[in-house]
Each structure stands twice: as structure tokens, then as C-alpha cells.
Amino acid sequence: MSHREEGVEAPFWERPLAELSQEQWEALCDGCGRCCLKKLINDRDESVHYTRVVCRYLDTEQCRCTQYKRRQTLVPDCLVLDMELLPELGWIPDTCAYRLRYENKPLPQWHPLISGSRAAINAQQISVSGKVISEEYVHEDGLEEHIIRWVNAAC
């Protein structure tokens, strides 16, 4: 965390997650799109394997859901991330702002709230833009062919 002078209020993203309003919670998302990657879970050891295949509703250039308000109706297993779920979600990428803040870590310099733009997230190659394909073009039995290793690797 950054050191603040007494009387100077910390930016909302440095406050505990439980104190954030819904609007602030939503703004914490860096828009990387990594949570929209299709994942495979190994039944033997419960390890998570990310694929380069994304939900059909992800705008792969902007890394935003085109059906955000209706996503759970259209995709019943689409996760609505909240404070109660965070402890259970070990698969969340280590670059995720929600995970970082849950672990009391600061946001990285490329995060749009810090940098002021999406250019830094793209320059650091954190977003999935240009790296993924829509599930519309991949048979679900072929997901194994699209396993990637860059999600939790140094970018």
C-alpha cells in the first residue's frame, strides 16, 4: 500500500474491498478479459488449465462483455464475482485487481485506475485482446487443443 499523509483520503481502490460501493467494485475491474477464458479442470488434482477460447459474448478487441447485464441469463454458469466468492476462487489470474486487493496487494502501474488509460494494460500484454478466439469457433471437445500458459506467467 502507498503511504498517505494524515487527513488525505486514499483512492477507493486502496480501501478494503468490503468498503467499496457497487460502482467502485465494478470500476476495480481492469478489463483484461482473462476471467472470460474457458477453463478446464483436471479431475485428478483439480488443477485449472486456461484455454485461449473465450465466451461468445466477449468483445475480444475491447475485452468487455457485450451482454453484461444479461450474462447470467444467457450463460448460467457465468460467475458474478463478489466478496463472498473471492476466497473460493483460486483460479482467478494473479494479475486480477480483485485478487490483488483481496490479498492486500497494490494495483500494478498498468491498471487503468493508476495509469489513466487502457494503453498500459495492452502494452504489458495483460489483456486477452488479440490472443483469443470465440467459443463459437471451437467444439467443446476440442478445448484441450487450446490450453495456454500465459495467464499466470510473467508477461
Has residue 118 been placed in a domain? yes
Under 8 Å CB-to-CB from 98, ≥6 apart: which residues?
17, 28, 29, 81, 86, 92
Identify the three-state secondary structure at position 113. Answer: helix
Q: List per-residue pLDDT tens for the chain, 155 residues long.
A: 455 556 678 899 999 999 999 999 999 999 999 999 999 988 899 888 999 999 999 999 889 999 999 999 999 989 888 888 888 888 888 899 999 999 999 999 999 999 999 889 988 889 999 999 999 999 989 999 999 987 765 43
- Amino acid identity at 126: I
Has residue 57 been placed in a domain? yes
- Domain holding 36, by residue range, is 14-146
Please give the model's pTM, rounded to 2 decimal places. Answer: 0.84
Distance of alpha carbon 107 from its chain centroid, rounded?
13
Has residue 1 been placed in a domain? no
Identify the three-state secondary structure at position 42. Answer: coil
Q: How many domains are there within the chain?
A: 1
Has residue 9 been placed in a domain? no
Has residue 137 been placed in a domain? yes
